[in-house]
Amino acid sequence: TAYAILSGLVGSEMCIRDRFGCMFTGLLFLAVIIGSIVFHVWTPWWWTDIASNWSAMDDTIILSFWIGGGVFILVCLFMVYCIFRYQYKEGRRSEYKPEDKKLEKGLTWLTTIGVVALLAPGLVVWNNYIRVPDNAIQVEVMAWQWGWKYRLPGQDGKLGASNNRIISDDNPYGLNIDDPNGKDDVFVESNELHLLKDRPVKILLRSIDVLHNFYVPQFRSKMDAVPGTITFYWFEPNKNGEYEVLCAEYCGVAHYAMRGKVVVEDKGSYNKWLSEQETFSSFTAKNINNKLNKKKLVKINNLSSNKNSILKEQDVR
């Protein structure tokens, strides 16, 4: 539209000079309108296939296209009309009309209806987007510079309480070790997440450093992960397949590489995958073992470097 208005101004300038300039500008305008419609219909950048319940997202965007596109076409056609209708004629004077109550009223109402139609459907969809169904599986998405990892509730269906301030090598998700709900939590320390088909998921977003945004285009849903707080939304994957995860918030030099994979599958393969993941308790136990082994190693190393050590190298001289 800005381009159209600009060429309109240039056009009226040209109209003052000659009729051909006027004709040219009018045709240019028509070309812009037709070109825009043709590109919209034949665009190579249309959405991916949808694989979730959120067709309402598509509907609201299509509605925005209709309203925005309709206004664009009307404004452009009006300017084409003006270029021809009001072109320069010797002796013709422009009319001075500082105020037109009727026109202003009409335009105000039209704009109001347009803006309401653009915003209201989005509010309705948003309301559904954050009202999570009771049978949703909780999935925690943990974003970091630069990758993803996940946490799922264990048998109890509940995620243990967490706090970013207590994140450490021993506790990569910052879980409250006194919370019994966290003991059976499942750690997915990989950028590949599996989801059950036709079962709603509640996505809980966390970030350990800066803003990120968990986005799978096929699910149509996304939200920022904000360090220090937990944001959430829900969706229901309804098509088996592998989908790419993208970070949709600029988060530093490797933002482009912050990709992952979501696999939507049936119960059998989902449960198999789930059973291969590690729980918080097994992670902690393994970690303690590693530490003990490390201590033993340190001891052995100390012994061998000790002057009185029986492992001391023989003097070759």
Binding site for ligand CUA (CB under 6 A): 143, 146, 212, 247, 249-251, 255, 258
Is-contact 277 166, C-beta < 8 A? no
Terminus-to-terminus CA distance in the chain, angstroms? 91
Q: Minimum distance between the CB of residue 219 and ligand CUA, rounded to whole angstroms?
A: 17
State which H helix or E strand residue 171 sits in.
none
Q: What is the DSSP string of 27-70?
A: HHHHHHHHHHHHHHHH-TTPPPPP-BS-HHHHHHHHHHHHHHHH
Alpha carbon distances (Å) from 281 to 4, 91, 151: 64, 91, 13
Residue 88 phi/psi, 5-degree rounding, is: -60, 130
Minimal distance, residue 246 CB to ligand CUA, in Å? 8
Distance CA 120, CA 117 (A): 6
Q: What φ, ψ does residue 260 adopt, rounded to 5°? A: -155, -170
Residue (197 or 255) nearer to ligand CUA, CB: 255
Kindly compute the dihedral angle of the four CA atoms of residues 67, 73, 79, 81, in this order, to the nearest 10 degrees. Answer: -120
Pairwise CA distance, residues 95 & 28, whole Å: 27
Largest CA distance in the chain: 118
Q: Would you say 151 or 212 has its CB closer to ligand CUA? A: 212
Q: Please, are residues 214 and 182 in contact by the beta-carbon 8 Å criterion?
A: no
Torsion angle of C-alpha atoms 219, 223, 229, 234, degrees rounded to 10: -30
CA distance 235 to 221: 7
Structure tokens at 190: 């990989």
